[in-house]
Every structure is written in structure tokens, then in C-alpha cells.
Amino acid sequence: MAENDLKVLGAWPSPYVMRARIALNIKSLDYEFLEETFGSKSQLLLQSNPVHKKIPVLIHGDKPICESLVIVEYIDEVWASSPSILPSHPYDRATARFWASYIDEKWFPAMKGIAAAQAEEARKAAIEQVAEGLALLEDAFQKTSKGKDFFSGDKIGYLDIAFGCFLGWLRVTEKMNGIKFLDETKTPGLAKWAQKFCADAAVKDVMPETEKLAEVAKIITAKLRGAGAPPK
């Protein structure tokens, strides 16, 4: 598809980059994946996202689009005919956007807080926060899935992507802290959903292996603890 000149500037461990790639996969779109080197930023990145200088950036033709959820909505709107990513009803769209915002502003920062915690008490408090968040998300799942496999119903959609991209990191966190966040008793819906999500055709090739992520996590954790302050 020559008119779909698509590039993704990203890095394989980034959950935010994964969101863009899953969306492109759902729409069966080919794209060039330009991997950024860890620790440095390419000229193309600095040029395409001068405001934040962050990945992911989707470059469509010569137009850059930044911010992972903005990218997902853009992909859904441009390639509107293929499977839909956002729900069609305005209230369902608002609900999906609400939970995606909650995940980005509260839940994932809490998860990062576990790795950044300097003392045992802070670590336990962060773990508690993450678990509480998962209880809320389990409830949201039950309500929006309406008995189907995914937050969006029969196929993966916006909220599945927004949340599912963090599953690799969630597993790493579980391993490194000897805890189980998603299980059949506490979060039965999410436990099943996680397996189905990771096995989905649009997801499985872009979801990194837990062991590889664990290695990256060790480097980042050392950096976070060394910095002496929790990350933003």
C-alpha cells in the first residue's frame, strides 16, 4: 500500500510504542519500525516530536503524530473501515477514554513506584496501590466486556490496547517482587483477559518476552534507585 507511508519511531520495551503497533496491526497496516537506541535520541525523533522528544511517534507520509493514545485514535479515524478500535457509542467511548486516562495517570505511575521505592514501607504501599487499581479495572472489565473476551467485546479495542500494553511490565514486577497481581481468585476476568490479549494476532509479535524485559528492568531500576526520587 504505497499511499500508506508509515513509520513508527519507538523501542521494543516501551508499552506506549506497543499501543501504536497493535493499532496498526489491527488495521493490517504495514509500517517501518525505526528503533531508537536506548539512552540517545535520533535527529528524526527530535525533529518529529520537538515538544516532548519522546517515543512513540507515528510518521504518516511527512506528518508526525505524537502521544500514544492520540496515535491510536488517529489510526482508527484514518483507516475507519477496517475493524474499529474505539467503540461507536459516545458513552462507551467516554468510558474507554476514562479508564485509559486512569491507567496512564494513576495506575502505571503506581507500578513504577514499586521499582522506585527506596524503603520497604514505600514498596508495600505502592504494591497496595497497584492491587487496588487492579480491583477497579477488574470491575470495569466485568462492566464493559459484558461477558465477552475483551474490554471492547469480541475483538480487542482501545481499552484492551491501553491496558494490555503494560502486561509485560506487570509480569516483570510480579517476578521481581514475588507477588501475583493477576490471579483467578482476585481478578478472574483480567486473568483470563490477559492470556487472550497476549495471544491475539495483533499483539503476540509486539509483546516482548518477560525475560528480556526483566533484563531491561534491572538497568532501569538501578537508575531509578540511584536517582533517589520516584519517577514522574
Partner 1 sequence: MADQVVLLDFWPSPFGMRVRIALAEKGVQYEYKEEDLRNKSPLLLQSNPVHKKIPVLIHNGKAVSESLIAVQYIDEVWKDKAPLLPSDPHLRAQARFWADYVDTKMYEIGRKVWTTKGEEQDVAKKEFLECISVLEGELGDKPYFGGKTFGFVDMALIPFYTWFSVYEKFGNFSVEAEHPKFIAWAKRCLEKESVSKSIPDRQKVYDFVLEMRKKLGVE
Binding region for partner 1 (CB under 8 A): 51, 60, 63, 65-67, 70-71, 73-74, 77-78, 90-91, 93-94, 97-98, 101-102, 136
Query: Rounded CA gap, 187 and 4, in Å?
Result: 40
**Least CB distance from residue 53 to partner 1, whole Å?**
13
Phi, psi of 6 (to 5 degrees): -120, 130
Closer CB to partner 1, residue 14 or residue 217?
14
Query: Rounded CA gap, 25 and 21, in Å?
Result: 6
Closer CB to partner 1, residue 52 or residue 218?
52
Closer CB to partner 1, residue 138 or residue 200?
138
Closer CB to partner 1, residue 63 or residue 124?
63
**Least CB distance from residue 1 to partner 1, whole Å?**
17
> Max CA-CA distance within the chain?
55
Q: What is the DSSP-derived secondary structure letter of residue 107? A: I
Query: Rounded CA gap, 138 and 8, in Å?
Result: 31
Cα 178 off chain centre by: 22
**Least CB distance from residue 145 to partner 1, whole Å?**
18
**Least CB distance from residue 48 to partner 1, whole Å?**
12
